[in-house]
Amino acid sequence: MHQIAGNRVDWKAIREDFPILHEQAHGHPLIYFDNAATSQKPRHVLDALRHYYEHENANVHRGLHELSSRATEAYEKSRKRVASYVGAATADEIVFTRGTTESINLVAQAWGGKFLRAGDAILLTEMEHHSNLVPWQLLAERTGARLRFVPVRDDGTLALDQLPALLTPEVKLFAFTHISNSLGTINPVAELCAKAQAVGALTLVDGAQSIGHLPIDVQKLGCDFLAFSGHKMCGPTGIGALYGRAEILDALPPWHGGGEMIVSVSLEKSAFKKPPHRFEAGTPNIAGAIGLAAAIDYIEKIGRAEIFKHDVDLANYATRRLAELPGIRILGPSTERGALVGFVMEAAHPHDLTTFADQYGLAMRGGHHCNQPLMRRFGVTGTTRASFYFYNTTAEIDRMIEILHAAVRFFS
Amino acid sequence: MSPELEELYQEVILDHSRRPRNFGDLPDATVRVHGDNPSCGDEIHLGVKFGASGELQDIKFSGHGCAISQASASLMTTKLKGKSRAEVMETFRAFHNLVTDEVAEAPKMLGDLRLMQGVRKFPQRVKCAMLAWRAVEQALQQTTGESTISTETDLGSS
Evaluate whether residue B157 is within a structural domain.
Answer: no
A61's CB contacts (< 8 A; 6+ apart) are: A68, A72, A260, A277
- Same domain membership, residue A288 and residue A308: no
Of the three residues A300, A323, A340, the one that is the final residue of a domain is A300
Evaluate whether residue B154 is within a structural domain.
Answer: no
Distance (Å, whole) CA A21 – CA A346: 31
The pLDDT assigned to B156 comes to 38
Evaluate whether residue A389 is within a structural domain.
Answer: yes
Distance (Å, whole) CA B118 – CA B3: 10
Evaluate whether residue B124 is within a structural domain.
Answer: yes
Of the three residues A273, A300, A327, the one that is the final residue of a domain is A300
The 10s digit of each residue's pLDDT in B129-146 is 999 999 999 999 987 788
Asked whether A206 and A179 are in contact (CB, 8 A), the reply is no
- Same domain membership, residue A118 and residue A59: yes
Neighbouring C-beta atoms of residue B54, cutoff 10 Å: 12
Evaluate whether residue A212 is within a structural domain.
Answer: yes
The pLDDT assigned to B154 comes to 46
Evaluate whether residue B158 is within a structural domain.
Answer: no
Distance (Å, whole) CA B3 – CA B24: 33
Please provide residue A175's backbone torsions phi and psi, each rounded to the nearest 5 degrees: -115, 125
Is it the case that residue A295 has pLDDT exceeding 60? Answer: yes
Interface of A with B (CB under 8 A): 26-27, 348-352, 355-356, 359-360, 366-368, 372, 375, 380-382, 410-411
- Same domain membership, residue A332 and residue A256: no
Closest chain A CA to residue B40? A367
Cα-trace Rg, chain A = 22
Please report, for residues A187, A318, A321, A351, the alpha-carbon distance to residue A383 in angstroms, rounded to integers and kept in the order given: 21, 15, 17, 9
Is it the case that residue B86 has pLDDT exceeding 70? Answer: yes
- The residue among B158 and B66 whose pLDDT is bigger is B66
* Nearest-CB residue to A411 (from B41, B64, B67): B67
Q: In angstroms, what separates the C-alpha of B138 from chain A's closest C-alpha?
A: 24
- Same domain membership, residue A238 and residue A121: yes
The pLDDT assigned to A259 comes to 87
CATH number assigned to the domain comprising residue A131: 3.40.640.10
Evaluate whether residue B130 is within a structural domain.
Answer: yes
The 10s digit of each residue's pLDDT in A244-259 is 999 999 999 999 999 8
- Same domain membership, residue A143 and residue A114: yes
Evaluate whether residue B153 is within a structural domain.
Answer: no
How many domains is chain B built from? 1
Pairing of strands A31-32, A28-29: unpaired
The pLDDT assigned to B151 comes to 78
CATH number assigned to the domain comprising residue A15: 3.90.1150.10
Mean pLDDT of B85-96: 95
Evaluate whether residue A313 is within a structural domain.
Answer: yes
Domain that holds residue B99: 3-148
Closest chain A CA to residue B65? A349
Closest chain B CA to residue A380? B41
The 10s digit of each residue's pLDDT in B10-64 is 999 999 999 999 999 999 999 999 999 887 788 999 999 999 988 999 999 999 9
- Same domain membership, residue A347 and residue A274: no
Is it the case that residue A3 has pLDDT exceeding 60? Answer: no
A-chain residues within 8 Å CB-CB of B64?
381
- Same domain membership, residue A390 and residue A349: yes
Annotation says A223 is catalytic: no
- Same domain membership, residue A219 and residue A359: no
Distance (Å, whole) CA A187 – CA A163: 13
Evaluate whether residue A37 is within a structural domain.
Answer: no
Question: B43–A372: do the CB atoms touch at under 8 Å?
Answer: no
Evaluate whether residue B129 is within a structural domain.
Answer: yes
- Same domain membership, residue A208 and residue A93: yes
- Same domain membership, residue A81 and residue A217: yes
Q: Band of the pLDDT at A285, cuts 50, 70, 90?
A: very high
The pLDDT assigned to B158 comes to 33
A-chain residues within 8 Å CB-CB of B68?
351-352
pTM of the model: 0.93
Q: In angstroms, what separates the C-alpha of B64 from chain A's closest C-alpha?
A: 9
Neighbouring C-beta atoms of residue A266, cutoff 10 Å: 7
Mean pLDDT of A96-124: 98
Mean pLDDT of A167-185: 98
Q: What percent of chain A has pLDDT over 70?
A: 98
Domain that holds residue A251: 47-300
Q: Which of A193, A223, A234, A370 is catalytic?
A: A370
Of the three residues A282, A300, A318, the one that is the final residue of a domain is A300
- Determine contact: B42 vs chain A, CB below 8 A: yes
Evaluate whether residue B29 is within a structural domain.
Answer: yes
- Same domain membership, residue A23 and residue A83: no
Question: A368–B67: do the CB atoms touch at under 8 Å?
Answer: no
CATH number assigned to the domain comprising residue B28: 3.90.1010.10
3-state secondary structure of B42: strand
A376's CB contacts (< 8 A; 6+ apart) are: none
Asked whether A161 and A235 are in contact (CB, 8 A), the reply is no
A-chain residues within 8 Å CB-CB of B9?
352, 356, 410-411
- Same domain membership, residue A351 and residue A237: no
How many domains is chain A built from? 2
Evaluate whether residue A6 is within a structural domain.
Answer: no
